[in-house]
Amino acid sequence: MKILLVASLFLACVVFSKGTTYRHVCYYTNWAQWRLGIGKYNVSDVDPHLCTHIVFAFAFFHDTNGTIYPAAGQNDIDALLDFISLMVYDMHGGWDRKTGHNSALYPSSADQGGDVYLTMDEVAKWWHTAGAPKDKIVVGMATYGHTFTLDNPSNSGVGAAARTGPNATYTGQSGFWSYYEICQEIERGAGVVKFDNERKVPYFVKNNLWISYDNERSLRLKADWLKTEGYSGFMIWTLDLDDFNKVCSSSATKYPLINAIIDQLGDAAGGQTTQQTTTRQTTTQQMTTRQTTTRQTTTQQTTPQQTTTRQTTPQQTTIRQTTTRQTTPQQTTTQQTTTQQTTPEAFTCRGKRNGFYPHPSNCTKVYLCIQGRIYRYKCPYGFHWDTRRTICNWPQLAHCSF
C-alpha cells in the first residue's frame, strides 16, 4: 500500500558543524533538477556545510506505518516540536494588483490595514506572543523575488499599480525569479536598485519591470535583527535559488545570500561535518493577512549595481510543504504538498508552460507542470486551491466551486 504523508513530514538530514550557534534550515527542491543550463541543481550541488538541517522538498513514503497527530496546542509546542519554521515571504505579489515587498523586515509608515502585519518582525512576534518559544522559532528567508509589470512606468514606487510580472529563463514561473536570475538582470544595466529604508529591503526597477527581492545587505540586516530578538535560526527557501554557481560578478562566493546570513550571525560556514543523522518532523507555518490597500512609499535609492532571475514553487512556482494553524479566520498563504507521478489522468503537462493548473473538478487539488513533467498536490483539510493567488486558501477566499 502506498501512503502519502501529508502533514509536515519531510526527508531531512541534520548536519552538525563546528562553531554553529543557530539553526540553518536549508530547503532544496526536487524539481530543480529539471531546470536547464545554469539553473539545473542536483544533489551533488548541495553544500551541506552551509546548513544544520537540509530539507528535500518534497518526498513521499511507501508502505510507511506512520501516525500523523493532530496539531498541538500552544502548551505542547515545546514538548512536541524541535522547531517551527516561519514562512515570512510571499507577503506580496502580483495578486495584490500593486507592487509590494516579498519579505519586508518592518512595516512602513505608509502601510495601512492588514499590510502593517505582513512583515518578518510582525509575524515572528505574533507566533511568540501566541505561545511559540523563541528558541523554537526559525525565521524563513528567501533567495528569490517576485516580479511585477507596472501599469505606468513613471509610477514605480512601493504600492504602485501593477500586475504579475514576467517569467525568467531558468525558473520559468510568472512573477517569480531566482536570485541568480535577478542579479544577472541587474548587471545587464539600464535599471536601478532602490533600498526601502523603512522596510529594510531592496527593489529593482527597469522600465515597466519591478522586482522585490533580498540581497546581501537586507539579509545581513535580518540576521542582526534575528540575533537581537533571540530567535533560534533561519530557514532558506531555497538552496537552488541562490547564486549557487556564482554566475554574477557581484557574487563574491557561491551561495552569496546564504553566506551573508551565516557570516553576519557569526556562525561557521564550510566547517567540518561532525555528525549526520535523520530527523523526523518539522512544522512550517505562516500567518499572513492580505488586504488590498493602495499605498505609496518613500524609498531611498542606493547606487544601482550596473552588473548583472524566478520560481518558488518550482517555477519558483514556490511550492511549500506546510501545515497551518490560525486562531482567526484570516487569509492563510499556506501550501501543503505531496508529489506523485504515477496514476494516469486525463490532465497532461505536454505543451503547457511551467506553472500551476487547477484540477478540473476538485477544489482541493492542483497540478504543477515543470518542463513537461506533472506533479500532483492536495491542499490541507479545509482549504481550497486559490487560482488567482496560487496558494491554498480559505474556501470563502479561494472562490472555487464545483
pLDDT at residue 278 in the model:
38
State the amino acid at position 87 in one-letter form.
Answer: M
Span 213-238, average pLDDT: 98
- Asked whether the predicted pLDDT for residue 208 surpasses 50, the reply is yes
How long is the chain?
402
Instruction: Inform me whether the pLDDT recorded for 295 exceeds 70.
Output: no
pLDDT for position 24: 97
Tens digit of pLDDT for each residue in 256-286?
999 999 999 998 654 333 344 333 333 333 3
Residue with cell 512573477: 175
309 closest CA partner among 148, 167, 192, 165: 167
Q: What is the pLDDT of residue 268?
A: 67
| Confidence category of residue 391, pLDDT binned at 50, 70, 90 | confident
Confidence of residue 331 (pLDDT cuts 50, 70, 90): very low
Tell me the longest C-alpha to C-alpha distance in the chain. 59
- The angle, 0 to 180 degrees and rounded to 10, between the axes of the packed helices 120-129 and 216-229 is 20
pLDDT tens-digit map of 143-179: 999 999 999 999 999 999 999 999 999 999 999 999 9
Convert the pLDDT of each residue in 65-100 to its tens digit: 444 344 445 556 667 789 999 999 999 999 999 999
- Please report the pLDDT score of residue 59 as a whole number: 63
CA dihedral 258, 260, 262, 263 (to 10 degrees): 160
Q: Is the pLDDT of residue 230 over 50?
A: yes
Q: 390 and 335 in contact (C-beta within 8 Å)?
A: no
Comparing 8-22, 24-38, 382-396, which segment has the lowest mean pLDDT?
8-22
Burial 289-306 (b: 16+ CB within 10 A, else e): bbeeeebebebeeeebbe
Cell matching residue 337 = 504538498
pLDDT of res. 343: 43
What pLDDT is stored for residue 199 in this prediction?
Answer: 98
Identify the residue whose cell numbers are 499572513.
Answer: 288
Higher per-residue pLDDT: 309 or 167: 167
* Arithmetic mean of pLDDT, 11-30: 73
> Which CATH class name applies to 2-301?
alpha beta
Place of cell 514538548: 79
Q: What is the mean pLDDT of residues 24-34?
A: 92
HSE-CB of 225 using CA atoms within 13 angstroms? 22
The set of residues, in sequence order, having a beta carbon less than 8 Å from that of 70 and lying 6+ positions away, is: none
State the alpha helices, DSSP H only, in 82-146: 120-129
Share of the chain above pLDDT 70, in %: 71
Contact between 180 and 244 (Cβ < 8 Å): yes
Strand partners, 122: none
Q: Residue 73 has what pLDDT? A: 52
pLDDT of residue 203: 98
pLDDT of residue 8: 36
Cα 316 to Cα 29, 241, 355, distances in angstroms: 10, 8, 9
Question: What's residue 37's pLDDT?
Answer: 95
Contact 242, 26 (CB under 8 A): no
Does position 58 have pLDDT exceeding 50, yes or no?
A: yes
Average pLDDT over residues 344-364: 86
Residue 2, pLDDT above cutoff 50: no
